Amino acid sequence: MVSELGILEHSNQGEAARSLDVRDRRLLEGVVAGNRDSIIKLYNLYFPRLFSFLYRLSRDYCLTEELVNDVMLVVWQDAEKFRGSSKVSTWIFGIGYRQCLKRLSKRRLPQVDRQKAHEPHFDSCGIVELDDVLESALDELSPKHRMMIESVLYLGMTYREVAEIAGCPVNTAKTRVHNARKQLRAALVRMGYVHGASSDG
């Protein structure tokens, strides 16, 4: 059931992604040719996704606005540098990934208050909200690890695409995501979200 659904979705997703990439490539060609409408369309298409991705990484609204424009400026300036070996979206998010890492490395990240991070919000019924728990755990990851997780689970990138944006071999990308996953898991365990320890212990 899962498999059938998975394969079906995978197939449809692949086709949709290819179709979107064809559209993006045409727009990028337009940008190279100096077509103003092409960069406007590309900007409008990528703004929401880039903003969400970069905001999730930086947690800084103003910085994210700057970053999105910086990324699109690079796209505009260096459109002819796109080699075509990856999807346009991968190329653009790769630029965003590197720009964001560069900016974050120049300043201290907003420090996560670990005490607070371990105290997720409670709703009126006193039930821990899962999103808060997960968010707190994600906040404990290093920017690089967080980007790995975001790239895969939020942006839905393939491992080849993750390798492309991170500028590393595919196996390294897999290992990095794996390490990020382990850190996420460790953070959740530290936060006390462990069930059945005694029964399995």
Minimum CB separation from other proteins for residue 47, in Å? 4
Which two three-digit tokens encode residue 20? 């979107």
Q: Is 88 in the site for other proteins (CB under 8 A)?
A: no
Report the C-alpha gap between 9 and 85 in whole angstroms.
24
- The full 3-state SS of 88-148, as one line of letters, equals HHHHHHHHHHHHHHHHHHHCCCCCCCHHHHCCCCECCCCCECHHHHHHHHHHCCCHHHHHH
Contact pick of 15, 113, 119, 131 for other proteins (by CB under 8 A): 131
**Collapsed DSSP state (helix, strand, coil) of residue 169:** coil
Range in contact with other proteins (rule: CB under 8 A) among 20-28, 90-98, 106-114, 157-165: 157-165
Residue ranges in contact with other proteins by CB under 8 A: 2-3, 6-7, 9-10, 13, 31, 34, 36, 39-40, 43-44, 47-48, 51-52, 55-56, 61, 65, 69, 72-73, 76-79, 130-131, 134-135, 138, 149-150, 152-154, 156-159, 174-175, 177-178, 181-182, 184-186, 188-189, 193-197, 199-201
